[in-house]
């Protein structure tokens, strides 16, 4: 079976984990090809990439969610598997906890919420990637007690490989997490504080949101509630997502 893995460096720690997973597969059974889109905007545009990674099986099946060995084995056997979007109703009740600056060191804390295997090395790889771009300040982590419940991070748009508007006055929200709480919105507070900080260096911020799902960020209704303008659909993933570009003046 042929597997093509397209990825934006270590922007997501799951990219690191997936690379490690694929490197361990039997090369006599799998034809594996790696494509880093970080400095290849044309490839990102060609593949219509607006997720941190994209796995393509046998030049046909596009898979945006994290993959694992069970999925790989099932697809290799011809099992038909439907990728389901991650749909969560985000509560309106906003929680305001303790914010910690996201840095190359504090990023290790996301291993329990943003990885498949709680791999700390994957988190540090993400921190190293972002630090090369942003320096010491990458965004915010939102804590309730000693547990991360949300966060927001960014990079300048001119360093984003996706096919989006780019200029030195615009930031891009790389990730707004988490969306699994059924009682509170834990994402709004860190995003609002990040926006205030970014207003010292940028004039606006962009993000990508699905209409219904919360991956990769979102959903669209939530962004509108945070004061973002819907700039329209930029990509449609058949039976999975309708991705919108959203913007906000800072």
Cα–Cα distance, 147 to 202 (Å, whole number): 30
Q: Any idea what the CATH number is for the domain that residue 237 is in?
A: 3.40.630.30
Cα–Cα distance, 199 to 51 (Å, whole number): 25
Does residue 152 share a domain with residue 70?
Answer: no
Does residue 45 share a domain with residue 136?
Answer: no
Mean pLDDT of the residues in the chain: 95
Residue with structure tokens 């996706």? 162
Residue 86 within any structural domain of the chain: no
pLDDT digits (tens, 9 = 90+) for 6-15: 999 999 999 9
Does residue 146 share a domain with residue 38?
Answer: no
pLDDT digits (tens, 9 = 90+) for 145-169: 999 999 999 999 999 999 999 999 9
**Residue 67: domain span:** 2-76
Cα–Cα distance, 163 to 232 (Å, whole number): 14
Handedness of CA 29, 50, 14, 93 (dihedral sign): negative
pLDDT digits (tens, 9 = 90+) for 204-250: 999 999 999 998 898 999 999 999 999 999 999 998 999 999 999 99
The residue among 45, 76, 107 that closes a domain is 76
Domain count, the chain: 2
The b-or-e profile of 52-62 (16+ CB within 10 A means b, else e) is bbbbbbeeeeb
Residue with structure tokens 């207003």? 199
Phi-psi region at 213: left, alpha or beta (left = phi > 0; alpha = psi -120 to 50): beta
Residue with structure tokens 């609002």? 192
Q: Stretch 128-141: mean pLDDT, rounded?
A: 92
Does residue 217 share a domain with residue 107?
Answer: yes
Cα–Cα distance, 49 to 33 (Å, whole number): 17
Residue 88 within any structural domain of the chain: no
Cα–Cα distance, 204 to 60 (Å, whole number): 37
Does residue 104 share a domain with residue 72?
Answer: no
User: Under DSSP, is residue 33 helix (H, G, I), strand (E, B) or coil?
Assistant: strand
Alpha helix ranges (H) inside the chain: 13-23, 41-46, 69-76, 120-134, 188-198, 220-225
Residue with structure tokens 């093509």? 4
Predicted pLDDT of residue 180: 87
Does residue 173 share a domain with residue 69?
Answer: no
What ranges make up the beta strands (E) of 37-92?
53-57, 61-63
Cα–Cα distance, 26 to 79 (Å, whole number): 20
Q: Stretch 33-53: mean pLDDT, rounded?
A: 97
Residue 214 within any structural domain of the chain: yes
Residue 70 within any structural domain of the chain: yes
């Amino acid at each position: 079976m042929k597997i093509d893995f397209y990825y934006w460096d270590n922007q997501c720690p799951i990219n690191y984990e997936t690379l490690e997973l694929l490197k361990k597969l039997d090369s006599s059974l799998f034809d594996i090809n790696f494509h880093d889109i970080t400095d290849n905007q044309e490839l990102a545009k060609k593949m219509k990439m607006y997720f941190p990674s994209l796995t393509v099986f046998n030049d046909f099946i596009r898979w945006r969610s994290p993959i694992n060995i069970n999925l790989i084995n099932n697809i290799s056997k011809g099992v038909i598997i439907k990728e389901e979007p991650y749909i969560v109703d985000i509560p309106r009740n906003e929680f305001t906890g303790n914010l910690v600056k996201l840095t190359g060191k504090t990023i290790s804390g996301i291993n329990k919420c943003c990885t498949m295997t709680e791999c700390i090395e994957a988190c540090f790889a993400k921190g190293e990637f972002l630090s090369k771009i942003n320096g010491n300040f990458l965004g915010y982590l939102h804590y309730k007690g000693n547990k991360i419940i949300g966060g927001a991070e960014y990079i300048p748009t001119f360093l984003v490989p996706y096919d989006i508007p780019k200029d030195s006055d615009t930031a891009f929200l790389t990730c707004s997490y988490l969306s699994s709480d059924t009682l509170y919105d834990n994402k709004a507070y860190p995003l609002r504080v990040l926006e205030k900080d970014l207003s010292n260096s940028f004039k606006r911020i962009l993000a990508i949101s699905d209409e219904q799902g919360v991956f990769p960020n979102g959903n669209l209704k939530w962004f509108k509630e945070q004061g973002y303008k819907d700039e329209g659909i930029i990509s449609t993933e058949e039976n999975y997502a309708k991705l919108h570009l959203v913007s906000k003046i800072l």
